[in-house]
Structure 1
Amino acid sequence: MRRKHVVSSLILAGAVLSTLPLSGCAGTSKNDGKTEVTMVQYKPEAVAAFEEMEERFNATHDDIHLTIESPNEAMTVLKTRFIRGDYPDIIGIGGDINYSNFLDADMFLDVSDFEGVSGIKPAYLDIVDELEFIPKDGVYGLPYVANCAGILYNKDMFEENGWEIPATWSEFTDLCETIQNTSDVYPLYLGYKDTWTCMAPWNALAVGLSSPSTCSDVNAGKTTFTDAYQEVAEKDKVLLDYAEPNPYAYSYNDACTAFARGESAMYPIGSYAVPQIQSVNPDMNIDSFVFPANEDEADNVLNSGVDLQFCVMKETKHKDAVYEVLKFLYDDETIQIYLDNQNAVPCKDGDFTLPSMLDGMRSYIDEGRMSDFHDHHYPSEMSVDAMVQTYLMDDSSDSTAKFLKRFDKEWKRYNRDLIAKVQKYEEENAS
């Protein structure tokens, strides 16, 4: 019943794309009697890595043929295929609200018996568990790679000026004051014209100052965003004091370019921005550090989320062959293909080569001191990125109170059914 409810909500997407050519149903046998396993993955920027993986797998397996599809607008394509009952065997998606919705629709196979689960870092398995609307026994998402967000900094500039990496909020604001008063560069560059960029500092602050279960706790009636996000909102606005004037006039590309050209010492963004920055300045010496949101370094948390995970569809007819594909994907050499291509962080334990710009975050990664991007739990219809941008542009004395009140109001509006479901579950399982 739950699957029918969610799939019916996607009818419009199916109608719009009803003329798209779709591949055949998963699990058919072709290619000289080989078992055909199909995967649809949502990261077109990683198509080269997946093409190499597909080629290597097919060259080393005589009884299974793997086809990996990497369409643009993959989530829309997937939803359309689900409506038609045209299921791939495996999907590669992010650890976000889409995964939550598909899981709630009971579309995924429990893969607890896959041997590769034991090698995945517990912190990332916990992050995926947090995405469950209702607690569910089993493993339904296999984290593959993650990204990290905090603060990128110009390492050469720091060394030339003797600036030290801040470990607390006070040290961070003191450093910003020093840079502002003693140099001709901005401490920070923000580039908030693109609303999504407003979420980078927001998420990095939220993981350090708020519980990873904040959204589910709000749904359960245990807290409100007004209580949970007060300090997050206040500190987010402080960043404006140390950034370029009118950051809403500058886009993500503008910010990457400005940072690459040495116009700022730091850039609060994720590791995903490094290729764009290096396209402007290939020789730039970039490192990173965890956002020092707290007054005690021990309370700081790395903002890291599952950028790609694999889920097996319940409809697959060839579980053994699918598990053979997953076994190949989780081989260290295969994972390294993806890491080298995408500057990502592996979710599996192992001796991997990580990008040098993550050196400053390495101890947090190794220790598992990390928490997911809060916006992975936000419904897209709520447009929280635009809400945050509007809040940051509001200079009124009560802007924070107004913003948080609106956050609570809009959350109830867009999550009414989910809140009712969660609170019903809480009542039934109160003991």
Structure 2
Amino acid sequence: MHRKYRKLVSAGLVLTMAGAMTLQGCGQKEKTGKTEIELVQYKPEAVKTFEKIEEEFNRTHDDIHLTIESPNDAMTVLKTRFIREDNPDIIGIGGDVNYSNFIDSDMLMDIFDYKGLEDIKEAYKEIDKNLEFVPEKGTYAVPYVANAAGILYNKEMFEEHGWKIPTTWDELMSLCQEIQNAGIQPFYFGFKDTWTCLAPWNAVAVDLAPADVCAQVNRGKTTFSKEYKEVAERMLELLPYGPDDPFAYDYNGACTAFAKGESAMYTIGSYAIPQIQTVNPDMEIDSFVMPANNNKEENKLNSGIDLQFCVMQDCKNKEAAYEVLDFLLEDENVQAYLDAQKAVPCKEGDFELPSTLEGMKEYIKEGKMSDYQDHYYPSEMAVDAQIQTFLMKKDSKAFLKKFDTDWVRYNRDIIRKVEDYEKSHND
């Protein structure tokens, strides 16, 4: 097995052989006499959009045939194919720790010479650079679309009661009390599903903790007990304004309850809007940035890269892959994705944002945003479950102590790599 695949195995990224057996036959390429480019992307909810892109690309290109796969569990498919050294030419993944691991394993091509990068917003290129465990010289992804997390709200309900959008934490707490006094539940959370606990956590953390807190901890400059203390306190302050049992509803249940007008607000990202609108297509939804700070100038939009494209290191047709990237970045294709998925463009341009993001447009326009903190957390650490347990037990000191201990446990190799990098560059 090639060195880079062994590194993935040692990092715990490879799945069981049983999973591999169920995926036999993946990646077989149709022979058309043209240059074949295969793209595997991890957003199954966007399959119809990508089917149209694939069809239009192949209709307008005589020398390249594009195949886009959108499997339900794309990361499982990809990691299994990596083991078999059956890589697609391009992968469409999120800006998270998987991307960090792929860079660290030397699997992605340095696309520094791809001209399309000139049109990508600097904020998202910076987010990608921050995801590198240690600074790399190259560029390894083209950010495509992002999502935004904060607070969704029932616009009609707010207008009916004359409630104002809060810009500080104290204003948010006052608003919640005002909504409660009107006999309406301020929030739904969906905390029965552990991953939903990360939505408000991330949105609060970007205002109160350094954007590079994980990197700082890896360098031994600070601790999570110090940097996340206020974040944990804010999370507990939200709980009284949700259901009596915040863990009784899962994501789907919370989306449904919010869609039916059972709460005024929902602490979730823009990715939930299509789900909510399947229950109530006529619901007027808008959003605003989580105002976790009492200085409104220090609040930031929690926005991360939801989908980006990477060319694999062993892609044999770099020019054809770049032509596919060019097509994906054409304004009409970006706009089609935004319309379908209620997303935020990573490309500069005069794109029409969904009305559901009206309250966040100023932050998007100014690039006043910061990445999801959980994009840096190792999956083995199960931070979402740790947050859920903390919210049940309400013991912030024990939670933060465990966070620090587990971070060292699950990031030992990365911390050593950072130490070696720092030592070599300080000598």
Q: Which amino acid aligns with 1:310?
A: F
Counterpart position of 1:318: 317
1:69 aligned partner: 69
Partner of 1:286: 285
Tell me the equivalent position of 2:411.
Answer: 415
Secondary structure of 2:247's counterpart equals helix
Matched, 1:223 2:226: no
Q: Does structure 2 conserve the Cα–Cα contact (< 8 Å) formed by 1:37 and 1:321?
A: yes
Please say if residues 5 and 82 of structure 2, whose CA atoms lie closer than 8 Å, have aligned partners that are also in contact: no
The Cα offsets for residues 177-219 of structure 1, whole Å up to 9 and x where unpaired, read as 11112x1111111121111111100000011111111111111
The one-letter amino acid paired with 2:25 is L
Quick check: 1:108–1:313 contact (8 Å CA) kept in 2? yes
Paired position in structure 1 for 2:252: 253
Cα distance per residue 1:356-410 (max 9 Å; x no partner): 0000000100110111111111111111111001101114xxx111110010011
Distance 2:57 2:214 in 1: 40
1:13 and 1:191, CA in 2 relative to 1: closer, same or farther beyond 3 A? closer
Q: Is the 8 A contact 1:11 1:83 kept in 2?
A: no
- Distance in structure 1 (CA, Å) of the matches to 2:54 and 2:5: 33
Matched residue type, 1:265: A
Q: Distance in 1 between matches of 2:227 and 2:96?
A: 20
- Counterpart in the other structure of 2:127: 127
**1:222, distance to aligned residue in structure 2 (A):** 1.0
Call closer, same or farther: CA 1:8–1:337 in 2, change over 3 Å.
same
The residue aligned with 2:24 is 21
Match of 2:424 in 1: 428
Gaps of 5+ in 1: none
Query: Following superposition of structure 1 onto structure 2, how do residues 239-388 of structure 1 map, counting pairs within 5 Å?
Result: 239-388=238-387
Q: CA deviation at 1:425?
A: 1.0
Alignment of 1:106-145 (within 5 A): 106-145=106-145
Superposed displacement of residue 4, structure 1: 4.1
Q: Structure 2 counterpart of 1:129, which letter?
A: K
Cα distance in 2 between the residues matched to 1:346 and 1:176: 32
Distance in structure 2 (CA, Å) of the matches to 1:65 and 1:243:
51
Residue pair 2:14, 2:80 contacting (<8 A) in 1 also: no
In 1, Cα distance between equivalents of 2:91 and 2:62: 23
The equivalent residue for 2:4 is 3
DSSP 3-state at the match of 1:287: strand
1:429 Cα deviation from its structure 2 partner: 1.6
TM-score normalised over the length of structure 1: 0.95
Q: How does 1:80-91 map to 2 (within 5 A)?
A: 80-91=80-91
Task: Give TM-score, length-normalised by structure 2.
Answer: 0.96
Alpha-carbon distance between aligned partners in 2 of 1:87 and 1:365, rounded to the nearest angstrom: 35
Other structure's SS at 1:133 match? coil
> Aligned residues: percent identity?
61
- Report the AA paired with residue 376 of structure 2: H
Three-state SS of the structure 1 residue aligned to 2:426 is coil
Aligned Cα root-mean-square deviation (Å): 1.5
Q: Residue 44 of structure 2 aligns with which residue?
A: 44
Residue of structure 2 in register with 1:389 after alignment: 388
**1:148 matches 2:148:** yes
Secondary structure of the corresponding residue to residue 126 of structure 1? helix
Q: Which runs of 5+ in 2 are unaligned?
A: none
Measure the CA separation in 2 of the matches of 1:282 and 1:267.
Answer: 17
Paired residues, what number?
424
Give the secondary-structure state (helix, strand or coil) at the position aligned to 1:244.
coil
Query: Is the Cα contact below 8 Å between 1:226 and 1:404 reproduced in 2?
Result: yes
Query: Which letter does structure 2 place at the counterpart of 1:78?
Result: L
For the 8 Å contact 2:14–2:83, the answer to whether it is kept is no
Q: Would you say the 8 A contact 2:190–2:246 is kept in 1?
A: yes
Question: Shift in Å at residue 25 of structure 1?
Answer: 7.0
